[in-house]
Structure 1
Amino acid sequence: MGALSDLRSEAGAELEELELDLLLEALVRRYGFDYRLHERDALKRKLYALMHRRGLATLSSLQDRALHDPASASALLRALSVPPATLFDDPQEALQLRGLLDACLRGAALPRVWLADCAGAEQAWTLAVLLEEEGLLARTEIHATVGSDELLAEAAACRIPVERLAQCQRLYEYAGGTASLTVHFQIEDGHAVLLPQLRSRISWAQYNLVTDASFNEFQLIVCRRALPDFGPLLRQRVLTLFHASLAPLGILGLDRPLASDDAHARHYQQLLPQQAWYKRIA
């Protein structure tokens, strides 16, 4: 019985991998979104969570829904995207950014920042507040890219309940903020939206890190939330893209420190101990 059970378990695992392969291929061929080089375990966690919410038993049933129902396809692609950020939800990262902004942006004629695979409007708004308080926003362009039209629509429609803005105040203070967050927002009907003069410095665009080429030169590139889901080959492809897009002496923010054998590691100097912030030196 033990051997038979092992065979059944092995067959089930093989079937699961086949179903996953077919689902990912379907997403490429039907919608043009390529997750085939993402970490398999991360994909499975996201997919099974979606299946549980939808009451689906197999990846094949999820694929069937996604191919024939636009709403299901949209929900699937959203589930595989970077989870949405909330305002100052990572105060340590925001504090580190606050300390690095001047070094990479102050001397540039037209400073540009790229939030690659941005985690939604509130991540971009957090950066805009930091830049405003450091006296850099008026000269700086923030380019926030996301993977789909749905994510662009979410960013454009973003509003924060006023009570949640108050809850973010403490996180903002942990990140070095000394004012009231409300000075950066306009309040209407119980919701807060970033002031127009701050929002105007953020440009949103759909962009695919898997397939698209470099589109500008940047003094700061931040991609700390999407990279953990990338498999080794895709990770190296994206790091090469960032290297081609980062200006000399620009700063790169990653999810984890570069390994010594990473293709471009010799071109970067680590700026903070045990933290994945790097200055391009060559």
Structure 2
Amino acid sequence: MLREATPEVEALELELLLEALLQRYGYDFRGHERAALRRKLRAVMRQRGLRTLSQLQDRVLHEPGAASSALRALHVPPATLFDDIDEARQLRQLVGASLRGAALPRIWLADCAGAEQAWTLAIILADEGLLEQTEIHATVASDELLAEAQDATITQEQLANYQAGYARSGGQGELSRYFAASGKRLAPTVALRSHITWAQYNLVTDASFNEFNLIVCRRALPDFGPVLRQRVLNLFHGSLAPFGILGLDRAIDAADALAPHYAAMPQPGWCRRIA
């Protein structure tokens, strides 16, 4: 009978699997928290009836479907429209402070959790009268996620279910006014979609590509280890305009070298650049 791997062996298996993902597919998860990686990969193993990470590594190297499943599990889980009511409320309070007065306001959704997270932000901006002059740059980690985001649609039933979250977040009226028929499904109106620019972008390796008035990365950061987290914070700092707002999963540590450059805001995890 096969036995479960010991913690020591599993730790070695995990490092080998991460190296395989990097060498074979170009995705570097070596800077992520190991506990988060194990949790996500064990879920893939259960789905595929595998007992060890070595078995998963074999599938990942030789079966495109297994590789896609593993990479999807390790990337940011997809959001649904207005699924985080607290964040949506906070954004309603903050977008005016970060965007009004800018000649061409730009927002970066870094490691965006899919199309519906970007749609949520665009709808909030439209509600607040700020969408027309604002550019949303939504970046995802893989070409597969990029294609899915660009082609995303929802059903009429999903839209009806999202109405309650929209209202709870402070939205007024019918959410349906922001959607139009796309075959038998629904897609955001052209007026909404035209303000969202999608791109593949790797937070681990890529450099700053623009200056932004608002940067949001609250869903990916919890899985980053301390070295990668610091690398990403420095990247955001170099990409944030003076007095721009940064949305993180938690406040910047007081001992961090970047801390003097930011002032905490009343909303948890949000801060404004002051220097």
Structure 1 and Structure 2 fold alike (TM over 0.5): yes
The 5 Å alignment of 1:1-282 reads: 12-272=6-266, 275-282=268-275
Find the aligned partners of 2:169 and 2:183 in 1 and give their Cα distance: 28
State the distance in 1 between where 2:186 and 2:228 align: 37
Residue type of the partner of 2:260?
R
Structure 2 CA distance, aligned partners of 1:22 and 1:188? 44
DSSP-derived class of the 1:171 partner:
helix
Q: CA deviation at 1:164?
A: 1.3
Whole-Å Cα distance in 1 between the matches of residues 173 and 266 of structure 2?
Answer: 26
CA shift at 1:189, angstroms? 4.9
- Deviation readout 1:43-71 (Å, 9 max, x if unpaired): 00000000000111110111111111112
Instruction: Work out the CA distance in 2 between the residues paired with 1:117 and 1:129.
Output: 19
TM-score (normalizing by structure 1): 0.94
Distance 2:151 2:45 in 1: 27
Q: Offset of 1:191 from its aligned partner? A: 2.3
- In the TM superposition, what is the alpha-carbon distance from 1:13 to its structure 2 partner? 1.1
Number of residues of Structure 1 aligned to a counterpart in Structure 2? 273
Deviation, structure 1 residue 190: 4.6
Alpha-carbon distance between aligned partners in 2 of 1:272 and 1:161, rounded to the nearest angstrom: 36
Amino acid at match of 1:235: R
Deviation at 1:254, TM superposition (A): 0.3
Q: What is the CA distance between 1:187 and its match in structure 2?
A: 2.9
Q: Secondary structure of the equivalent of 1:137?
A: coil
Given that 1:56 and 1:62 are in contact with CA atoms closer than 8 Å, whether structure 2 keeps it comes out as yes
1:162/1:187 contact within 8 Å kept: no
TM (norm. structure 2) is 0.97
**Number of the residue aligned with 1:5:** none
1:174: Cα distance to partner? 1.1
Which 5+ residue runs of structure 2 have no aligned equivalent? none
RMSD: 1.4
Q: Is contact 1:124-1:202 (8 Å) kept?
A: yes
For structure 1, the 5+ residue unaligned runs are 1-7
CA distance in 2 between counterparts of 1:178 and 1:155 reads 26
Aligned partners of 1:188 and 1:17: how far apart in 2?
47
1:3 — aligned with what?
Answer: none
Displacement of 1:188: 4.3
Aligned-partner residue type, residue 96 of structure 2: D
Aligned to 1:76, the other structure's residue is in SS state helix
Aligned residues with identical type, % of pairs: 65
Q: What amino acid sits opposite 2:159 in the alignment?
A: L
Contact map agreement 1:92 1:174 (CA 8 A) in 2: no
